[in-house]
């Protein structure tokens, strides 16, 4: 087994806190914490909010689609969807004309809850990116996409 000194870091860094992965995780944790707090006031979790957003943009998605879109397992998505259904925020068909996927839709209450939650989440995002110029934000988004593609490919 190689010791730390014999493995070259991917870029100059004095310690782990200067690595890109560490900084990404730190930013993600800060965002998640702020969203958890804001969404708690809307009686939603981050995965529930994410499902509502996806269903607003793409009505009729399946459990598997929502799991992929919210970065959770299908089993976890089922738990999230059960909570949303019990709260009257979504409807889920009991059967479908084709395939096995049961389409899911927002209810009117779901749309209202999403609208209230979206305002809180967008305020957090505005605060997060407020110190970045539009040009740098565009570059940051492109860089994040490139990093994701490098790891997915």
For the chain, which domains are there? 15-152 (1.10.10.10)
pLDDT digits (tens, 9 = 90+) for 32-56: 999 999 999 999 999 999 999 999 9
pLDDT digits (tens, 9 = 90+) for 136-148: 999 999 999 999 9
Q: State the pLDDT at residue 8.
A: 78
Residue 123 phi, psi dihedral angles, 5° rounding: -65, -40
Distance of CA 102 to the CA centre of its chain: 22
3-state SS track over the chain: CCCHHHCCCCCCCCCHHHCHHHHHHHHHHHHHHHHHHHHHCCCCCHHHHHHHHHHHHCCCCCHHHHHHHHCCCHHHHHHHHHHHHHCCCEEECCCCCCCCCCCEEECHHHHHHHHHHHHHHHHHHHHHHCCCCHHHHHHHHHHHHHHHHHHHC
Q: What is the pLDDT along the chain (153 residues), one digit of tens a residue?
A: 555 567 777 878 778 888 899 999 999 999 999 999 999 999 999 999 999 999 999 999 999 999 999 999 999 999 999 999 999 999 987 766 666 677 999 999 999 999 999 999 999 999 999 999 999 999 999 999 999 999 997
pTM for the predicted model, two decimal places = 0.84
């Amino acid at each position: 087994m190689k010791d730390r000194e014999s493995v070259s870091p991917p870029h100059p860094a004095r310690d782990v806190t200067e690595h890109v992965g560490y900084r990404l995780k730190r930013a993600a944790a800060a965002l998640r914490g702020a969203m958890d707090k804001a969404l708690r006031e809307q009686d939603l979790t981050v995965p529930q909010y994410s499902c509502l957003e996806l269903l607003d943009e793409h009505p009729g998605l399946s459990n598997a689609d929502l799991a992929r879109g919210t970065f959770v397992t299908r089993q976890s998505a089922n738990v999230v969807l059960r909570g949303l259904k019990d709260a009257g925020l979504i409807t889920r068909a009991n059967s479908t004309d084709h395939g096995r996927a049961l389409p899911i839709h927002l209810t009117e209450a779901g749309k209202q809850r999403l609208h209230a939650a979206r305002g809180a989440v967008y305020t957090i995002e505005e605060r997060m990116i407020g110190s970045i110029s539009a040009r740098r934000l565009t570059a940051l988004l492109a860089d994040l996409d490139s990093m994701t593609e490098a790891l997915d490919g």
